[in-house]
Structure 1
Amino acid sequence: MSGADHYEVLNVERSASAAEIRSAYRKMALKVHPDQGGNAALFRLVQEAWSTLSDPAKRAAYDRSLDGHTPRPEPRQPAPEPPRQPEPEHQWTWSTDQPWSSTPPGPDQVRSDGAGPVLIYPTFGQWRIPGLVALGVYAVLVGIVLVSTRYDNFMAYVLSVATAAMVVVVLPPHWSRRVPLRGLFKLLGVLMGLGYLVTLLPFVHIGMSGADRALVIALVAGLFVVRFVTGRWSKYYELDRVIDRQAAFEFNLWGTPGEPLVNDTLAAPISPYDALLQRRTANLLDPVLTALPGAKLVNGAQLEAMVVDHLLLNGHRAALIVSLVGPGGTYSLDAYGGLQLDGQPLQSPSPALEAAVESWRRRLRQVDVRGFLIIHPDAGGTVRTQDRADAKVTCLSAQSAARELHAWLQPEGSKVYRTVLYDILHRAPYGLT
């Protein structure tokens, strides 16, 4: 029996009818199909669950195995909890209280039964509560000013509107975008903040009491402090929208082999031969994604104008991958990063890959970045590799590439750091900091 409960995989009860199982399978298969950017490992679990539960004889035998060979309960009756089975190595599983097809674990929540890999969802919402509290306090301060103002002339009304506009300045950007005439209100709020700041200068004497002066200081300081806090809240809110917890769990593939990740004029055109080679290498990497459900493959990863064929990310390790086709023999890298075949220099993309490794290391300072040059043998050839331990780039034969990449990435477990993934996908291609 598979390590994952087939009923949990399809998110149905054990008493579900054949029609309910069929409907759940269709919905789940469409959701996690690799062609739709889904997870290949999860798609295999869905296929295995359908193969078993769609056949009445197989389903009956499966139910008996869950119950320890006890009779199956009558339909629509509560089924006993199936016993936990040890998971095979590298097999992802959810705990029994929440099937994997439902909402992923909450912030910083870890789900594991101690045998399979662990998948962690770092939270982006940690600034929401401080932002709401700071915004609420600032709104109260502005309200105190508005209530205590004497409205005995037209200028008092103008200044009150400008003071109220200071709240628009400190709103989180994803809220302020919905405010009509927000540009005008922000300008008024900033000018009013500067006006309050002027009243605090030593040479300005307007006869403010100590309480009034403290209130003005709080308004001016809050304009900067609250805006910073709500700005951080809004930034991470945008991160959640672009790479939410659901997407970080379900998707392990971005970009298309043979195409640039960002469709702009910076990326050089890719020849049909190189596109075919990149698709061949991407297929070779599929077993790594299957074994490490938290691993993410970015095809055509781009750092400004610098493009690499593939970036394979798992936790705080990133493998930059390019490939070539060569004759059989022993491949190695010399002290200058040049590729050699049986001791003779060979033209290759390895120097450019080494430069890419340096650039990505400067970009992702908290990530261990290494380069891997995968060599596909031509017809009838056998590729062997020799590498230096201190090299930035490692040569791999196509036959052993998946195994060796998995061995290098596996110590990270199966962790998803969405801030790193967001940087790779949405900031690095444009050189944003």
Structure 2
Amino acid sequence: MTEGNSSHYQVLNVSVTATDKEIKLAYRRAARSAHPDHGGDAAVFRQVTAAYETLIDPQRRKAYDRSYQAGTFRGNAADSGPHFDAPPAGSRASATVHRPGVPRNTAGDPPIYEPPYDDGTVVPLVPLAHASRQVHGMPRKRGIFGAEARIQREMRTVQLLTRQVLPAIPAARLVNGLQSPADNSHIDHAVLSGYRLALVGSMLLPKGAYAWDGRTLNHGGRAIAPPRLAHTVRAMQEVFPELNVTGWTVIHSPGGNLHEPVIDQHRRSGDQLEAVRIVNAAGLVRGLKEFLSSGPAPNTVNVPVLARLLRGMH
């Protein structure tokens, strides 16, 4: 798949008669295995993306098929345009992409929009004035009852993210109030930066010592059920195979101390990294900054993904 003369069909491992559904499924499989965040190779990931973008578009696929049948296609053309974590050399974004061996982190750099808004051939999915906002939506009533306690808890999370996470990562975009693709439940908060997406829920618990083992939250010998977020993380990963999606549940203390309650992380032996992390407010700030800023091109605003998230706001 990494050979320069591989056809788009070979890259995705599909036949030349593959349907759009088969191409989408093949792309999701290939993207998951090739994504740099999952241990894959950036060059292969660009090939996979270029193949999908060509074959899923009817007009581009017809043109490609004609050149493919005539034997004049230019390999996978993975470097013909800006794709995900590594835009081509000479582009505006290439100078700000974090590459292996380069120590400087670009998370604090001014945002780069992908695709760029000054490209006259691309119709913006989101107006620039809208895409440039770091915060979209606010906690509000859902259904008949107001659930004031939930709204106040979510507002604390919004304030925490707005004051202590977003200023450090100018390209990060916070979207509040999403409809879950898994069911009819809601996602309180989603933070997108580059090609990483964090889903955030919250709880309000008394201060004290808690223990999280990746499955249950324990306090004083009693198990506390955290919000069901793992299945939503998995569903969003399916919707956005090009992203690295994680879930976070932040536990706020009644007194507002960011370091309370204390949460000990006792991972079960043999467990893989859990899909959802349980942290206090200080842990959320520290963990989210590390997660978002260490991803591919953290100073990139992924406009197509942002547009899909904004359409999902309730």
TM range (shorter): 0.5 to 0.7
Per the alignment, residue 148 of structure 2 pairs with 272
* 1:313 equivalenced with 2:198 (yes/no): no
Shift of 1:429: 5.5
- What are the Cα deviations for residues 173-200 of structure 1, in whole angstroms up to 9, with x where unaligned? xxxxxxxxxxxxxxxxxxxxxxxxxxxx
SS, match of residue 109 in structure 2: coil
Contact 2:212 2:263 in 1 (8 A): no
Per the alignment, residue 340 of structure 1 pairs with 218
* 1:416 equivalenced with 2:301 (yes/no): yes
* 1:402 equivalenced with 2:280 (yes/no): no
Correspondence for 2:138 among 248, 251, 256: 256
The correspondence of residues 223-234 of structure 1 with structure 2, limited to 5 A, is none
SS, match of residue 139 in structure 2: coil
Shift of 1:268: 8.0
Per the alignment, residue 235 of structure 2 pairs with 359
More helix by share: 1
Residue 253 of structure 2 aligns with an amino acid whose one-letter code is P
Shift of 1:379: 3.9
Q: What count of residue pairs does the alignment treat as equivalent?
A: 204
Per the alignment, residue 180 of structure 2 pairs with 303
- What are the Cα deviations for residues 229-268 of structure 1, in whole angstroms up to 9, with x where unaligned? xxxxxxx62xx1x4134432x30111112346xxxxxx78
- What are the Cα deviations for residues 129-158 of structure 1, in whole angstroms up to 9, with x where unaligned? 6xxxxxxxxxxxxxxxxxxxxxxxxxxxxx
* 1:121 equivalenced with 2:3 (yes/no): no
* 1:385 equivalenced with 2:268 (yes/no): no
The correspondence of residues 3-18 of structure 1 with structure 2, limited to 5 A, is none
Per the alignment, residue 322 of structure 1 pairs with 201
Contact 1:297 1:312 in 2 (8 A): yes
CA distance 1:268–1:332, shift in 2 (3 Å): farther
Contact 2:177 2:313 in 1 (8 A): no
Give the TM-score of the pair, scaled to structure 2.
0.57
Residue 325 of structure 1 aligns with an amino acid whose one-letter code is L
More strand by share: 2
Shift of 1:271: 0.4
CA distance 1:422–1:344, shift in 2 (3 Å): same
Per the alignment, residue 132 of structure 1 pairs with none
Shift of 1:323: 0.9
Percentage identity across aligned positions? Answer: 26
**Cα separation, 2, equivalents of 1:121 and 1:327:** 42
**Cα separation, 1, equivalents of 2:117 and 2:254:** 51
**Cα separation, 1, equivalents of 2:233 and 2:130:** 27
Residue 317 of structure 1 aligns with an amino acid whose one-letter code is R
Shift of 1:366: 1.1
CA distance 1:334–1:422, shift in 2 (3 Å): same
Contact 1:386 1:395 in 2 (8 A): no
| Residue ranges of structure 1 left out of the alignment (5+ in a row) | 1-107, 130-235, 261-266
Larger RCO, structures 1/2 (Cα 8 Å, 6+ apart): 2
- What are the Cα deviations for residues 45-80 of structure 1, in whole angstroms up to 9, with x where unaligned? xxxxxxxxxxxxxxxxxxxxxxxxxxxxxxxxxxxx
Residue 271 of structure 1 aligns with an amino acid whose one-letter code is A
CA distance 1:310–1:419, shift in 2 (3 Å): same
Contact 2:114 2:303 in 1 (8 A): yes
Residue 190 of structure 2 aligns with an amino acid whose one-letter code is L
* 1:283 equivalenced with 2:162 (yes/no): no
Residue 199 of structure 2 aligns with an amino acid whose one-letter code is L
**Cα separation, 2, equivalents of 1:128 and 1:415:** 19
| Residue ranges of structure 2 left out of the alignment (5+ in a row) | 1-90, 97-103
**Cα separation, 1, equivalents of 2:138 and 2:155:** 8
Shift of 1:289: 0.8
Shift of 1:342: 4.5
Per the alignment, residue 3 of structure 1 pairs with none
CA distance 1:330–1:392, shift in 2 (3 Å): farther
SS, match of residue 218 in structure 2: strand
SS, match of residue 246 in structure 2: strand
Residue 119 of structure 1 aligns with an amino acid whose one-letter code is P
- What are the Cα deviations for residues 363-420 of structure 1, in whole angstroms up to 9, with x where unaligned? 1111111111101123498312233361111111123322221111111322111111
Shift of 1:127: 10
Higher Rg of the two aligned structures: 1
Residue 134 of structure 2 aligns with an amino acid whose one-letter code is N
